[in-house]
């Protein structure tokens, strides 16, 4: 696994934004852009996009779209304890599988 493609967040992780205009917002990761090292988070970094009509009798629209945010600007978030935290890898003795555990709360992530 190369360094460029490794990320500290995975799909459907709960994260908190730690810097930028959306600092403090909490959301779920919906998409990961590995090559750009960015993530798209539900309800964070919303931008307004004007969509042109595609057909003659259709009208244009103004929509809000979630844009990517750099993965270094987010931290994993524990919904049980309501705290952001770093994580560590733990090897489960019974199954010999590598699992992620939040350092502050000792909560295991999938």
Chain segment 8-21, per-residue pLDDT in tens = 999 999 999 999 99
Q: What distance in Å separates the CA atoms of residue 29 and residue 39, rounded to the nearest whole number?
A: 7
Helix (H, G, I), strand (E, B) or coil at 1: coil
* Full 3-state SS string of 65-76: EECCEEHHHEEE
Query: pLDDT tens across 32-86, in order?
Result: 999 999 999 999 999 999 999 999 999 999 999 999 999 999 999 999 999 999 9
Per DSSP, what are the bridge partners of residue 56? none
Which phi-psi region, left, alpha or beta, contains residue 54 (left: φ > 0; alpha: ψ -120 to 50)? alpha
Which phi-psi region, left, alpha or beta, contains residue 96 (left: φ > 0; alpha: ψ -120 to 50)? left
pTM comes to: 0.86
pLDDT the model gives residue 6: 83
Q: Please, what are the domains in the chain?
A: 14-79 (2.30.30.30)
């Amino acid at each position: 696994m190369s360094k460029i493609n490794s990320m500290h967040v995975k799909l459907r992780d709960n994260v908190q934004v730690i810097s930028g205009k959306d600092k403090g917002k909490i959301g779920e990761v919906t998409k990961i852009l590995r090559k750009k090292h960015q993530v798209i988070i539900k309800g964070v970094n919303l931008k307004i996009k004007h969509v042109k009509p595609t057909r003659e009798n259709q009208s244009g629209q103004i929509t809000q779209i979630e844009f990517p945010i750099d993965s270094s600007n987010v931290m994993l978030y524990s919904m049980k304890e309501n705290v952001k935290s770093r994580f560590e890898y733990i090897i489960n003795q019974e199954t010999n599988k590598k699992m992620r555990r939040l350092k502050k709360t000792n909560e295991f992530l999938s």
